[in-house]
């Protein structure tokens, strides 16, 4: 599945270069018109990130998210500073298809296990952001990629597997927002290791060939952000490319 992505700051679509708020690029698009077009073209899921909420949970753009969710019938998964069960319930009650859990999956592992059990494996996506070391360890970073943890990607997936973890959004930090191409080797490895996980590949997609290459790794989903915003290809081309492979 091709999943178009929008990162939102103060109601505007933006992209951050490798998660850095100081390297922010604004896009002059009408989000609602984009959603209308995506619905007409057959998009099955949208990925939204509330970057204001990610930076400070008190600044979550709830009114905007409510408006977006009521505007479109396309299922939407939402991330950005989700730190407790109340945050999850608010977004699910507003109509979000899924909530995306990032840093909390590392900081509050036991609590996140409870969330998976309580809300169901289809309501939770774990967003695991990694840096690959020289010895090929997939180190997880949290807090907007500012803090390295002692956990590997494999350790965390294994930890939550007993709670019927299903959806994992995996981003290679070095690729995100760069348009330099995705880390194909990474997705080949993790798809082979965790056959029951539905992975969402994120970071680096810049051309239709990247989509073809990712499909061949076995990942079920590809998140596409900057390349759609900058018209590197159209959503029709991306969807057709995915279906034809």
Catalytic residues: 7, 129
Residue 82 CA to residue 94 CA, distance in Å, equals 14
Query: Which residue in the block uniquely carries the two structure tokens 């998210």?
Result: 65
Q: Are 129 and 173 within 8 A, CB to CB?
A: yes
Q: What are phi and psi of 162, to 5 degrees?
A: -70, -20
Of residues 238, 177, 196, 219, the one with CA closest to residue 25: 177
Q: CB within 8 A of 20, min separation 6: which ones?
A: none
Report the alpha-carbon distance of residue 97 to residue 138 in Å, rounded.
28
DSSP element (H, E) containing 78: strand 76-79
Query: In residues, how long is the chain?
Result: 245
Helix, coil or strand: residue 48: strand
Pairing of strands 2-9, 46-50: parallel
């Amino acid at each position: 599945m091709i999943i178009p992505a929008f990162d939102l700051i103060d109601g505007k679509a933006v992209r951050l270069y490798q998660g850095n708020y100081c390297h922010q690029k604004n896009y002059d698009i009408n989000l609602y018109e984009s959603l209308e077009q995506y619905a007409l073209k057959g998009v099955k899921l949208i990925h939204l990130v509330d970057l204001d909420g990610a930076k400070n949970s008190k600044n979550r753009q709830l009114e905007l998210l409510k408006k977006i969710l009521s505007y479109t019938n396309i299922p939407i998964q939402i991330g950005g500073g989700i730190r407790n069960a109340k945050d999850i319930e608010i977004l699910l009650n507003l109509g979000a298809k899924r909530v995306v859990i990032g840093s909390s999956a590392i900081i509050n592992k036991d609590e996140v296990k409870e969330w998976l059990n309580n809300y169901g494996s289809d309501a939770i996506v774990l967003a695991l952001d990694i840096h690959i070391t020289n010895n090929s360890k997939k180190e997880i970073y949290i807090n907007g990629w500012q803090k390295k943890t002692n956990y590997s990607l494999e350790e965390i997936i294994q930890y939550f597997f007993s709670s019927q973890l299903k959806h994992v959004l995996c981003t290679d930090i070095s690729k995100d927002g760069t348009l330099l191409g995705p880390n194909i080797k990474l997705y080949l490895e993790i798809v082979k290791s965790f056959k029951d996980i539905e992975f969402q590949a994120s970071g680096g997609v810049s051309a239709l060939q990247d989509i073809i290459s990712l499909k061949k790794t076995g990942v079920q989903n590809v998140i596409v952000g900057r390349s759609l915003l900058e018209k590197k290809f159209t959503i029709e081309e991306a969807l057709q490319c995915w279906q034809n492979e």
